[in-house]
Structure 1
Amino acid sequence: MNIKLGMVTLAAMMVLVGCSVVPGSNLTVGGKEIRVPATRSADINAMATVFPITPILLAQLQQQPAYMDKYRSTSAQQPYRYRIGSGDVLNIRVWNHPQLNVVTEANNTQGKQVSSGTWVDESGYLFYPLVGKIYVKGKTLPEVQTLLTARLARYLKQPQLDVNIAEFRSQNVTVTGAVKQSGQLSVTNVPMSLLDAIGLAGGFTEQADTNRIKWTRNGKEQTISLQDIVRRGDTAQNRLLGGGDIVYVPPREDAQVYVMGEVGKQSVLTMGNNGLNLTEALGKAEGMNQNLANATGVFVIRNQPLQTEGKPIHIYQLNLSDATAYAWGTQFALKPDDVVYVTAAPVVRWNRVLSQIMPSLTTAILLNNTLK
């Protein structure tokens, strides 16, 4: 009897440790030092906010950001004016005084000829006869004309001047990424918008993601959608570019959405230029598994930018127990790196627990019956 008891005990121990005696590698955190930054909670639940997908939420998500309205109002109030910079070459003519209009060779910092005219040096000054050196960097052409007229009036009676730019050299816009001709474009006295810059760069390549164009100014980046400009007529996104701006067009393969959980096919979907909505993503993943999925538990998990206020993880929940809610899913636009997750029904989760336990229980019962 003691032998039978010992064998049953041994069999039970083998069942309990069986999960650890499996092929392949394993990694445990037990006994290892675990460090959590003091400024960040280790509880992931404290980092997430859940938003049920409703018509009210969809209306809020479709609203333009506040900075769009601010940019639209300020750009409408301030007409474009080109401002002179170091390296620009000015053409200055004084009427009825040809001796002042002798063409000089403007040189760059290496002493090489670049153009005929009056060059603005690296410190922002230009030199003109009778006037001497004057600071013109950051000034408009009318301001320079007024300044020169006032200075020449000390020596000439009612001088009349014409000032224009012979060569624009001080300011550039960089266009790179999925465009046909990456490079730098000179900023001139003709306003250059975002679409103008892309056109001058030869247009988009076939791989371009036109929904996530990155515009960077003074180290601050904003994402601009060509589709919003073209389809919705949102001209506020067609930004007016200035010197030092960077326009980056990312390739489309970088914009992916992950569909996981109880769907027909676990999928990694590439977003097209027309975007991707939640219902479309579920359809491309062969829909919910009707035998396994919990229709109330369709979630979109999204990381928020670090500079945004609030919790860093937003979770959007769509209740598809009534299939009418698929209409809301068509209005919910996904973003790159979103995770669409469909949960399992409670009974399915319980059955999966049983499926893990039953083989071990069956083995123990068979051993016990054998030893009786």
Structure 2
Amino acid sequence: MKWISIAAAVVLAGCGIIYNSPRVAQGTDASGINVAVVPVTPSTLAEANASPYKPRALPAAFHTTTGGPRAGRSAPTLPEPPYRPETRPAGLELRVPPPAPETPYRIGVEDELRLAVPQSGSTAAELAGLLAKATARQGYRVQDDGTISIPDVGRVHVAGLTLAEAEDAIFDKLVAAGVNPVFSLEVSDFRSQRVTIGGAVGKPAVVPITLSPLRLVEALNAAGGIQLADDEYASIRIFRNGRLYQIPVRDYYARAELQNLRLKDRDSIFVDTDFDVEKAAAYFEQQIRLSSLRHQERVQALSELTAEMDFRRRQLDEVRGLFMGQLELDAVERDYVYLAGEVGKQTRIALPFGRRATLADALYADGGGFRIETGDARQVYVLRGAGDAAEPGRVTAWQLDLSNIGNMVLATRFELRPNDIVFVAEQPVTRWSRVIKQLSPSLILSTI
């Protein structure tokens, strides 16, 4: 009697009389749903992916950076970034500053001048007091008004003059004072013109410009030379007159004209060793703040720029935070696909923002996949309703046969659309096993 009951249960299960499980049936059923089963092959894959679909986009706040100052802003020109920090450059761009004019040295404020006279004749006697005082003061310092003060002679304006022009001016003053104008003039201490060097050098320094033109190689050597472990993406940045120029280190070593580049007063040189421009920005900001003792408006402009960028950054963070909160509360309109049948977990999966998901993504999202022991690998379906409102009952069942695992390549190329249903059918033996499992209590009781 027991064996007769078991045999009857197996037959009834195969007929779908006492056990019904989801399956894909081709044709039109009583509800009017017309299912067309189409195998997924390399030739039909293009047809499946041809249906129009544009993934939902992230809010604009996720594609926006704080940027720079707004147009029309009244502020001094700030250094331009050599490349965008988000993108690793394929190669560093060479931007050489324009050649500095070949002009003679001009005396400036804070330079120290020294007069020298012959040690014989009446000239030495006439200038004895002048020499004694000059020796005691270690020369004549050019004052803020551009003059030097010579005892018994008066003030002589020398700032902005070459040595020859300064000698002429002092000569005229000595003659006017009745002093024999036999003398020589030299700059004993150069302080008015200088170049700053920082970054990956032996010792950051301030190098004065003297009577001889200051070359880039001389300035770097005066700062201890370039100190780099890898020069592939290293660069020498020169900040001049509010603009940023860049010389890749490899180009610098390979080209003599770059090494002999003539520097100008107030040039700032920074040897950068990586892609992060924050160090260079900090260095230039430091130079701007140092010069702000004479140009306070630059500090104010820099402060306004920083405040503006901080404000924009807070705005972006707030918009992004609100969106993430809405996303967590499921308050954002999303596109979904659904997993059903013999899968690791029957659930819905949100389609990603800004890109298209594939069947393989859905099958293996969050470590899911279909259940090999119960699922029929030959019957993996993607059920897709008709996009035409005139045919609401038409459903296309794209069938992928994964009994040949090579077809998994097609799963990685099969694009999903909103409201697709990914369904894995059960194996026939699974259906029989479940019928027997559900009937086994009754069979056991029937034998008692």
| TM-score tier (shorter) | 0.3 to 0.5
TM-score, with length taken from structure 2: 0.40
Q: Relative contact order: is structure 1 or structure 2 higher (C-alpha 8 Å, sep ≥ 6)?
A: 2
TM-score, with length taken from structure 1: 0.47
